Structure 1
């Protein structure tokens, strides 16, 4: 059924056990910049946007673009905030949205001081549930460079099915050709229409 995504009234925040997961807001640039600065060495091998540390103003401009895209339903970035401390743990979101088929791709990164604590697995599970319940997702994907084993383990822990590996699929940030692992959950197989 055709949908005008601008007409969808969606919550801009929801929670998991330890996280407040919310849409970007004006002023978030400082927190994002701080987290990126702490984590730049860990992000550089995987994230094209992390090849140089941005100025705070650049991070704020990026947040404002993300806010507009969220409101337009073109891309849905989420800030991951610790409910206990308020610290930005990382960012995630639903990307490469196809509203006709209700397909969404989850992306994520975690700040270095929060690695290994299960925050991204927790966030990705909550975002998958959000996509199923609020967006009536028919397909949710996680894609990653085949060399990014930490990212692949998130998909595996959450029960996503490895559908295949796209060989020489894209250029990695180092310029080499990379293979892309495609994990997915689909309606009627890994989740029910009601999101149970």
Structure 2
């Protein structure tokens, strides 16, 4: 339950919005092929950080993942969003609001970009827009970005957008090879950063 006992499934929230260059929207049935293509293109860059990117998925596996994400969005359990370039229609990457706590209105932003679109500011643009969406549409009190302490590109996005590094949790998780890793936690908190 959310604040005042409101069931999150009853919340009317936009399923799509735009930034300067991107259409940001909930995953929809049929998006699997585009996601699959982007993941295959980007495995070398994704595999050091993403457990799900260790083995190239089939198109069917990508579509099944998209359909699960669509259902979770409808249930307000996880708000996966795909990033499409407004002019070309190309899938640029994926982001969204995860590990949601509706009672406190806490959300974690995750993200990845396809290799051919990296280092062009798309993820910073998307995360900035999704942060604004979380504040404006969802009443976010706390927004987090968590990343492996060695993932300097991800940490740079958080710093560039004014997220505060709250700390590093040592030996917090296992990396994709099973070795212990440290996790950096960045946040924006209502009343302090916005």
- What are the equivalent positions in structure 2 for 1:9-48 lying under 5 Å apart? 9-48=12-51
Describe how 1:5-154 pairs up with structure 2 within 5 A: 5-154=8-157
CA distance in 1, matches of 2:177, 2:129: 32
Deviation at 1:23, TM superposition (A): 0.2
Deviations 1:97-152 (A, max 9, x none): 00000000000000000000000000000000000000000000000000000000
**How much is the aligned-residue C-alpha RMSD, in angstroms?**
0.5
**3-state SS in 1 of match to 2:172:** strand
Shift of 1:175: 1.1
The whole-number CA distance in structure 1 between the counterparts of 2:172 and 2:128 is 26
SS of equivalent residue, structure 2 residue 134: helix
TM superposition shift of 1:4 = 1.1
Q: What TM-score results when the alignment is normalised by the length of structure 2? A: 0.98
Any stretches of 5+ residues in structure 1 without a counterpart? 192-196
Gaps of 5+ in 2: none
* Aligned residues between the structures: 191
- Matched residues in 1 for 2:136 and 2:106: separation? 13
Counterpart of 2:185? 182
Rounded Cα–Cα distance in structure 2 between residues aligned with 1:31 and 1:74: 23
